[in-house]
C-alpha cells in the first residue's frame, strides 16, 4: 500500500505534541537547533529513542534549546520535526565517544552532554533518508 505522505508539524504543534520525559537517569542531553543562517529554531521538536532510555520528546523554546534527562546509553536515535520541515529529519547521536562523524558526537562535560543540531549549512548534521 502507498504510505500516507508526511506534512509539516507547523508552528503550533505544542498544542498536541507535549514534552515526554525519557526514563530518568543521571545524565542530561541538551542542545540547540539551528537553521541554515545560524539562527536558533524556536519551533522544532526533538524526539529521541533507544531501548535503554525509552522514548522522549522535547520542544525547543524561544532560544532554540531542547533538553532530556537520561540514563547511560551508547547512542540515541533522533528525529527532528519543525515548521518548515515537510517531513522529519532522522539521525543518531553518540554519547559514548564512538561517533563515526563529528556532527553526531555529543560533547560531554560531566553528566551533561551537548548535541547541537544544524539543519543546514557548513556544519549541517549528518541526516539519513527515511
Partner 1 sequence: MTFQPVDDAVEPRYDEPAYRSSTLRHPTRLYLLPEEWHDPAGPVFGESDVDPSESDLTRQHDGEPLGERIVVSGRALDSDGRPLPNTLVEVWQANAAGRYAHAVDRHPAPLDPNFTGAGRCVTDADGGYRFVTIKPGAYPWQNHPNAWRPAHIHFSLFGRAFADRLVTQMYFPGDPLFDADPIFQSVRDAAARELLVSRFDWETTEPEWALGFRFDIVLRSTPFE
Question: How is residue 111 written as a grid cell?
Answer: 553528566
Q: How far is the CB of 129 from partner 1 (least distance, A)?
A: 5
Measured from the CB of residue 109, what is the shortest distance to partner 1 in angstroms? Answer: 25
Task: Give the DSSP letter of residue 9.
Answer: -
CB-wise, 30 or 35, nearer to partner 1?
35
Beta carbon nearer to partner 1, 39 or 107: 39
Point out which residues bind partner 1 (CB under 8 A): 1-17, 35-37, 39, 41, 43, 47, 49-51, 54-55, 77, 79, 81-90, 92, 100-101, 119-120, 124-130
Rounded to the nearest whole angstrom, what is the least distance from the CB of residue 95 to partner 1 in the complex? 15
Among residues 89, 93, 97, 122, the alpha carbon closest in space to that of 31 is found at 93
59: which strand partners?
45
Cell 514534552, residue located: 19
Cα 84 to Cα 43: distance, rounded to the nearest angstrom: 9
Handedness of CA 53, 126, 47, 33 (dihedral sign): positive
Q: How far is the CB of 68 from partner 1 (least distance, A)?
A: 14
CB-nearer residue toward partner 1: 51 or 109:
51
Strand partners, 44: 82
Beta bridge partners of 81: 45
Q: Considering beta carbons, is residue 6 or 112 the nearer one to partner 1?
A: 6
Amino acid at each position: 500500500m502507498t504510505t500516507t505522505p508526511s506534512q509539516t508539524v507547523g508552528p503550533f504543534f505544542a498544542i498536541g505534541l507535549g514534552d515526554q520525559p525519557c526514563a530518568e537517569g543521571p545524565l542530561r542531553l541538551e542542545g540547540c537547533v539551528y537553521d541554515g543562517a545560524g539562527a536558533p529554531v524556536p519551533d522544532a521538536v526533538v524526539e529521541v529513542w533507544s531501548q535503554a532510555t525509552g522514548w522522549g520528546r522535547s520542544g525547543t523554546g524561544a532560544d532554540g534549546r531542547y533538553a532530556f534527562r537520561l540514563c547511560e546509553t551508547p547512542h540515541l536515535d533522533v528525529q527532528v520535526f519543525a515548521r518548515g520541515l515537510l517531513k522529519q529529519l532522522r539521525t543518531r547521536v553518540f554519547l559514548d565517544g564512538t561517533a563515526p562523524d563529528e556532527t553526531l558526537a555529543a560533547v560531554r562535560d560531566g553528566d551533561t552532554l551537548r548535541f547541537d543540531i544544524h539543519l543546514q549549512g557548513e556544519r549541517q548534521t549528518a541526516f539519513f533518508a527515511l
